[in-house]
Each structure stands twice: as structure tokens, then as C-alpha cells.
Amino acid sequence: MQPATIHDANTHGSSPAPEPADPKCHLLVVKVASRCNLNCSYCYVYNAGDRSYLLQPAIMADETVAALIQRTATHCRRHGIAEFTFVFHGGEPLLAGPGFFRRFVAHVARDFPPETKPRFCLQTNGTLLTKEWCELLSDLNIGIGISLDGPRESNDIHRVDHSGKGSYDQVLEGWEAARSCGLRPGLLAVVNVQTNPLDVYRHTKELNPRSVDFLLPDATHDKLPPGRLPGEETTLYADWLLEIFHAWVAEEDSPFRVRLFSHLIRTVLGGNDSFDNFSQDPNEVMIIETNGAIESLDVLKVCRHGITRSAANVLTHELDDAFDNEMIRLYYNSGQHLSATCQQCLIKSVCAGGYLPHRFRQENAFDNPSVYCLDLMKLITGIQNWVVKNLPEDLRLETALTPITYAQARAHFQVFHGIPE
């Protein structure tokens, strides 16, 4: 496979690849609960302006679960899918209660085609985790991801309960409950550029997670990222992430996988890695709401109220029917539907336009670069330069990787847009 060299990405006016004729899904985010015991200030479900959750059942009904599993089994048979993943999500999924997960897993074991291996994951805020919960999840072979934004002073800025009290102590109790049961959870953290990235990294090392997802705050061109002023061109988020990146790669043995960094390294070297934040490949993911509605990416709720709604529902439709929905199709192939600006960019082969919600602007929808465009440019060129510098000489010659600096990528952007340097 040829490396995805950033300097080769300058293909002016290239047209998007055709959408797959037979799209499919291999992962469902199952919203088993539509309510949450926390009230995180940045939450796209409850605090970004979309009020759809108020119309949803609090917990997914058994009838909906049965239909969901039947539709998924049919989809797997039709497309010959060897492995299918269910991600239990919410709200807070543990509000559904232990019996829900026992019944769900047993139903899949009974109804799934033998040629398809099911996988189960659960993303939780961690505050309800107990030893009993962790033993159950371990017995059911459900992997755990826990959301925590760093040490107490970082986490409790945004991750609070409905009375405004920080969640850190409760989350740590849940984390220790998981560790006491022999589990090694994954960690999800939202970047806060007001915090010290190395403090967050040191705290993460102490927790020793299986893997880490550092997420950019959900933002659009109409709802700017925290710390960003209108018209301001800064790279606060790239600078924050690059500090952690250099600390992480300086370790003699990587203590855990950082999904964002691992993906970008592999992509720069020509690898193929599914990651919907930066991927030219189809996003084979759908969301199932508690009422059974089949919807597009849930984070799109940050764009405007009702944007993810679909007429398809597992009670009445097959998963394949959902691809008739415009937003589901757009998200599925978002790495190929790029704005004119992105089509000219030197790093488009790695960035792929960035995360779909981050491109949104009311006046022209998704026909824009990411609101994090300059951050992505600086982050990707920074990681690419590290990769080139650390490749053995013979491999560097073989791959023909040529470093490009952020200044060069930025200058190209300015020339294309007629912006004075």
C-alpha cells in the first residue's frame, strides 16, 4: 500500500469518489436510555439546543430490542458481515438496569447468524459503576469505556450532576470498581484548552486505561469552540494535543493506545484505519434511539434541532431502508463530500475534511472546512514530521515520505484563498 503522503494530496479540483452501490452498517450505537444522571455542560444530547430526547422513551422497550436484533441479524446475513458491534449508549446506559443487558445479549446469542460474531461495548459516565455491575459486564463480555476529562480540577469544570456538583469522585469509584474486577476500561476525554495538557496526561497514565480517545469539543461555525473568538485564527487545540503527543511518543513503551494519534500515524504511513473523525472510507455506523428510530450520527444534534430525525424505525423498517435518509447517506460518505476549500488542501488525504458536525454553518450546511481546520492542519503536519524524522533512512526512502510544515500548508491555504500572509 502506498503511503498517504501529505505532499501528494494536492490534487486540484478532484471529484468525490462514487458512493458505494450497496451501503452497509457494521456498528450500531444503541441508545438504551434517553436520560442521564449527569448534566455535562457541553453535552450534545441535552445542552446543544436539540430537544428530541424529550420525545423519547426513558428506556428502550423489550419489543424494540427484539425488532432491533432481528433487523440487525437480517442485515448481517444480507451483507455477509463477519463481525458486528453494538455500542450501548445514552444518556447513561446503566440506567436501563442489569436485566436489560442480560436479555439483550441472550437475545443476540439466540437470533444472530452463526457466521457473524457479535461484539458489545458500553460507554458510561462511570458514576453508577459498582463491583456487581462490573462483574455482570465482564460475564457478558461487554467492554467498558468511561468518560473522564482529567484530574478533578479539569473534569469538574463541565462534567457535573443536575445540582452542579462535580462527578470526579464518583467516576473514580466506578473506575476502581472496574479495576478490582480485572477490567481495564477505555477512557474518553474532551479536550479543554484551559487546562494543562501534561497534567491530564500524567493523570491518564496513573489510571492506566486500555486506550484513550481525546475528543475535540463539539462545535460548528455558528457555535465556536470554547476559547475561540469570531474571526480569530488560533491553533489552541492542536497545541494542546501536540504536547500530549510528544509526551506519549517519548515513552519507552507506550502505556496505552491514543486512538487519535495512532490513527494519524497509520494514515500518514499509508495504512487504512476506520475513524469517522478523519476517514475517506464509508462510516458504517448508525444510531438507534430508544423508540427504535434509525438515525444518523448523534453528534449532529449540535448543528440544529431535529437534524438527525429519520422516518425509518426498526419496528417497521430494515436497516438498509435507512440509507434513503439524506443525513444518513451524507454521514456514511462524509469523507468524500468535501468543500471546495478542502478539495485544494495539502492534507486532505489524511484529514478527509474533519468530523462532519464540525463543518456545519447555517447558511450553507456542511459545505465548509472544519471549524478546527487550522488545528487539524497543525496537528497532522506535526505528527507527520515526527513520523518522517523517526523513520529509518531506508524506510524513509522506500516510502518517499516528504515532510511538510504547518507553515507550508498554511501558506498554500492562504494563496488559494487570496489571503495576505
In a domain, 315, yes or no: yes
Residue 71 has pLDDT above 90, yes or no: yes
253/309: higher pLDDT: 309
Residues 6+ apart with CB under 8 A from 253: none
What mean pLDDT comes out for the span 206-227?
Answer: 97
CA distance linking residue 7 with residue 375, whole number of Å: 18
Cβ 87 vs Cβ 27: under 8 Å: yes
Q: Which residues of 160-187 are buried (b: 16+ CB within 10 A; e: fewer)?
A: bbeeeebbbebbbebbebbeebebebbb
Structural domain includes residue 294: yes
Q: How confident is the model at residue 408 (pLDDT cuts 50, 70, 90)?
A: confident
What would the pLDDT profile of 150-209 be if each residue is shown by its tens digit? 999 999 999 999 999 999 999 999 999 999 999 999 999 999 999 999 999 999 999 999
Distance, C-alpha 177 to centroid of its chain = 25
C-alpha cell at 129: 459503576
CB 254 within 8 A of CB 248: yes
Nearest to 86 by CA among 62, 111, 69: 69
Number of domains in the chain: 1
- State mean pLDDT over 394-401: 73
Average pLDDT over residues 321-337: 95
Judge whether 390 lies within some domain. Answer: no
My answer on whether omega of the bond before 186 falls inside 30° of 0, hence cis, is no
In a domain, 102, yes or no: yes
Across 224-246, average pLDDT? 95
Identify the pLDDT of residue 196: 97
Mean pLDDT of 351-367: 96
Average pLDDT over residues 94-111: 98
Residue-by-residue DSSP string for 105-124: HHHHHHHS-TTSEEEEEEEE
Q: What is the mean pLDDT of residues 294-302?
A: 97
pLDDT band (50, 70, 90) for residue 401: confident
Query: pTM of whole model > 0.85?
Result: yes
**Residue 101's pLDDT is what?**
98
pLDDT of residue 20: 60
Could you tell me if 9 and 270 are in contact, meaning their C-beta atoms sit under 8 angstroms apart?
no
Q: Per-residue pLDDT tens for 258-286?
A: 999 999 999 888 777 667 778 888 999 99
Residue 153 belongs to a domain with what CATH number?
A: 3.20.20.70
What is the model's pLDDT at position 10?
32
Q: Grid coordinates representing 299?
A: 453528534
Which structural domain, as residue segments, surrounds residue 146?
6-11+23-332
- Edge to edge, the sheet with strand 83-89 lists 257-258, 211-215, 186-190, 142-147, 117-124, 83-89, 27-31, 285-288, 294-295
pLDDT at 293: 98
Query: Is 391 a domain residue?
Result: no
Residue 398 has pLDDT above 80, yes or no: no
Mean pLDDT of 387-416: 80
Q: What is the C-alpha to C-alpha distance for residues 271 and 364, in angstroms, rounded to an integer? A: 33
Residue 203 belongs to some domain of the structure:
yes
Q: Does the residue 68 lie in any domain?
A: yes
Q: Is the pLDDT of residue 125 over 80?
A: yes
pLDDT band with cut points at 50, 70 and 90 for residue 9: very low
Question: What does each C-alpha distance from 278 to 195, 264, 308, 420 come to in angstroms?
Answer: 25, 9, 20, 29
Using 50, 70 and 90 to split pLDDT, how confident is the model at 2? very low
Q: Contact 302/44 with Cβ under 8 angstroms?
A: yes
Task: Return the pLDDT at 368.
Answer: 95
- Please work out, in degrees rounded to the nearest 5, the angle formed at the alpha carbon of residue 284 by the alpha carbons of 316 and 255: 130
Catalogue the long-range contacts made by 385-389 (C-beta closer than 8 Å, 24 or more residues apart): 386/245, 386/246, 386/249, 387/265, 387/268, 387/269
User: What's the pLDDT score for residue 18?
Assistant: 54
Residues 6+ apart with CB under 8 A from 321: 294, 312
Q: Residue 324: is its pLDDT beyond 60?
A: yes
Residues 286 and 299: their CA atoms lie apart, in Å, by 12
pLDDT > 90 in the chain, percent = 79
Q: What is the mean pLDDT of residues 356-361?
A: 97
Confidence at residue 417, expressed as pLDDT on a 0 to 100 scale: 56
Angle between helices 168-180 and 131-139 (to 10 degrees): 50
pLDDT score of 256? 94
pLDDT tens column, 18-40: 566 689 999 999 999 999 999 99
- Chain-wide mean pLDDT for the chain? 91
Any domain includes 168 = yes
What pLDDT does residue 164 have? 97
pLDDT in the model for residue 15: 42
